[in-house]
């Protein structure tokens, strides 16, 4: 039998088909990776917000985190860290870089003593990078949602801004996210002893800001929604005595971007009388959730006005942070 190799036509290798299969496999792997990372977007957004005090900047850094994670996917080793820990390491490093040379984001109560004049000029200070509110619905559905919400309360986030960046990161990772000290050390490229030292210094600083860390373990007031509903009804009715009955004696009212804050039910009452004298009583308030707390989106004469975020304890309103910037409401639908 003679085989004629010179005249035989051989089938070309299936390069096109193989390449197409390879591309489809890579696409599936990329999509699976994307979905695994996306499951932590709300968790990462809350983490970056706690670090920065700004929702706008937190959103940018979460996008940067996702991009870095996708590019470095081949470096991830599940034997060394969970996906969540790995993503938080990337996000924390991005936050630490962003915080270099940055001024802290305060609330008015972090700038000086309380005012004693409810009729003081309401002049915004737009040059101050104010602390921003966080919409609860941006959390997604993390397994530790209750702890996440507690770690978003305005008093805590404002107090975190008092800490140096690495102390802030250590405290958030350890106290809020409940990561083991060894994992926190890995995220910060540090040692367990160094992490524990940072935590000790951070806790000492926060003690001067009040019982903010205790709020992480305290359940929300079960009647807070009913209290805020009664407040909204009295507000829409222009009922100042009704509002005043819902206030704690030492209630605090602050109104960023106005660098003014008032303490005490008498000052609060006098200020509300001024509000209704200036703006009338054509108010509509819609309940929302912000920073793990009940909040009201306020409109007057059909126009967006402000977001009021409440702290309720013992059936009374203890604090109202009113973000007097209509643009804030766009974050809350």
The full set of domain ranges for the chain reads: 25-102, 224-332
Q: How far apart are CA 87 and CA 81, in angstroms?
A: 10
pLDDT attached to residue 24: 55
Q: How far apart are CA 35 and CA 30, in angstroms?
A: 9
pLDDT tier at 33, thresholds 50, 70, 90: low
The pLDDT of residue 21 is above 90: no
The pLDDT of residue 7 is above 50: no
User: What tokens does 313 get?
Assistant: 């304890």
**Does 2.40.110.10 match the CATH number of domain 25-102?**
no
Domain 224-332: top CATH class: alpha beta
- CA dihedral for 210, 216, 218, 222, sign (positive or negative): positive
User: What tokens does 258 get?
Assistant: 């106005």
Q: How far apart are CA 122 and CA 35, in angstroms?
A: 47
Q: Of 79-88, 137-146, 151-160, 239-248, which gets the smallest average pLDDT?
A: 137-146
User: What tokens does 279 get?
Assistant: 């703006």
Q: How far apart are CA 200 and CA 174, in angstroms?
A: 12
């Amino acid at each position: 039998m003679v085989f004629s190799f010179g005249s035989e036509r051989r089938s070309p290798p299936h390069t096109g088909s193989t390449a197409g299969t390879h591309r489809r496999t890579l696409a599936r792997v990329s999509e699976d990776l994307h979905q695994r990372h996306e499951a932590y977007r709300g968790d990462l957004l809350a983490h970056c917000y706690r670090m920065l005090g700004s929702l706008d900047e937190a959103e940018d850094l979460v996008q940067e985190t996702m991009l870095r994670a996708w590019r470095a996917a081949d470096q991830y080793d599940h034997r060394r860290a969970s996906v969540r820990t790995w993503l938080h390491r990337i996000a924390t490093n991005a936050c630490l870089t962003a915080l270099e040379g940055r001024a802290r984001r305060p609330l008015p109560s972090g700038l000086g003593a309380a005012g004693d004049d409810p009729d003081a000029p309401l002049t915004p200070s737009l040059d101050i990078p104010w602390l921003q509110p966080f919409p609860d619905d941006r959390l997604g559905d993390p397994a530790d949602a209750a702890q996440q919400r507690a770690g978003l309360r305005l008093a805590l986030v404002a107090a975190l801004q008092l800490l140096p960046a690495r102390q802030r990161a250590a405290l958030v990772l350890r106290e809020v996210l409940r990561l083991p000290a060894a994992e926190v050390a890995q995220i910060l490229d540090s040692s367990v002893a160094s992490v524990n030292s940072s935590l000790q210094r951070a806790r000492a600083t926060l003690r001067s800001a009040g019982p903010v860390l205790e709020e992480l373990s305290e359940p929300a007031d079960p009647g807070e929604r009913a209290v805020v509903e009664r407040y909204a009804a009295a507000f829409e009715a222009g009922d100042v005595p009704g509002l005043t009955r819902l206030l704690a004696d030492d209630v605090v009212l602050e109104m960023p971007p106005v660098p003014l804050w008032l303490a005490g039910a008498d000052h609060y009452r006098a200020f509300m009388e001024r509000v209704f004298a200036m703006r009338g009583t054509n108010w509509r308030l819609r309940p929302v959730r912000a920073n793990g707390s009940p909040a009201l989106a306020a409109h007057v004469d059909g126009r967006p006005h402000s977001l009021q975020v409440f702290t309720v304890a013992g059936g009374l309103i203890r604090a109202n942070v009113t973000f007097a910037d209509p643009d804030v409401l766009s974050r809350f639908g």
